[in-house]
Amino acid sequence: MDEYRDLNDDYPGAGTFRFGDSAKLCRKLTDLVIAGTKTATCGALREFEDDPDSRPVVGRRDIACAWDGTPRVVIETTKVFECRFDAVPDAFARAEGEGTVADWRAGHIAFFKRNGGWSEDMMLLCERFRVVEVLE
C-alpha cells in the first residue's frame, strides 16, 4: 500500500477497529478475513450502549487494523442483527471462520469472560460483512 495514501479519501466516514483482544488474536482473525474464511463477527451488545455510533451499519465501510494500528483490510457491513448468545445460528457461528460451532462457542465464551462477562442469555450484536480491499 502507498504509505502516503489517505484512506479517508477513498473511504469517507470509515472507522478503524481491531479484531480480538490481543495482538495474537487480532492477527489470526484479520488473516481469516483476508483469506475470505471469516465473513462475520459479533460483540457483546453492552459494548455499544454508551457509543451507539460505533454500531455497525449496513453499507458502511470500516478499516480493520493490525494490533499496532496499521490498516490491513477494508470491509463493508452487509447485515446486522441482535441475538442471544444461546440462539446464534450455526451458519453465523461457522461464518466467523474459527472452526466448528463448538469451537466458536468455546472461543467466544473465553473472550467474553475476559471482557466483561459471559452468560448464555447475553445479547450479541452480530455483523456479516464482505471484503472490499486488502491493504497489504
- What are the domain boundaries of the chain? 7-134
Quote the mean pLDDT of the chain. Answer: 94
Cα 26 to Cα 89: distance, rounded to the nearest angstrom: 24
7-134 CATH fold: Sulfate adenylyltransferase (3.10.400)
Q: Which of 5-14, 45-54, 60-69, 70-79 has the lowest mean pLDDT?
A: 5-14
Cα 38 to Cα 33: distance, rounded to the nearest angstrom: 5
Q: What is the pLDDT of residue 27?
A: 98
Q: What is the pLDDT of residue 125?
A: 98
Under a CB-based contact definition with an 8 Å cutoff, are residues 107 and 97 in contact?
A: no
How confident is the model over 3-38, as pLDDT tens digits?
557 888 899 989 999 999 999 999 999 999 999 999
Q: What is the pLDDT of residue 8?
A: 83
pTM score above 0.85: yes
Q: What is the pLDDT of residue 18?
A: 97
Question: Mapped to the 3 state alphabet, what secondary structure does 52-103 carry?
Answer: HHHCCCCCCEEEEECCCCCEEEEEEEEEEEEEEHHHCCHHHHHHCCCCCHHH
How confident is the model over 76-104, as pLDDT tens digits?
999 999 999 999 999 999 999 999 999 99
Cα 94 to Cα 47: distance, rounded to the nearest angstrom: 23
Q: What is the pLDDT of residue 16?
A: 93
Q: What is the mean pLDDT of residues 36-54?
A: 95
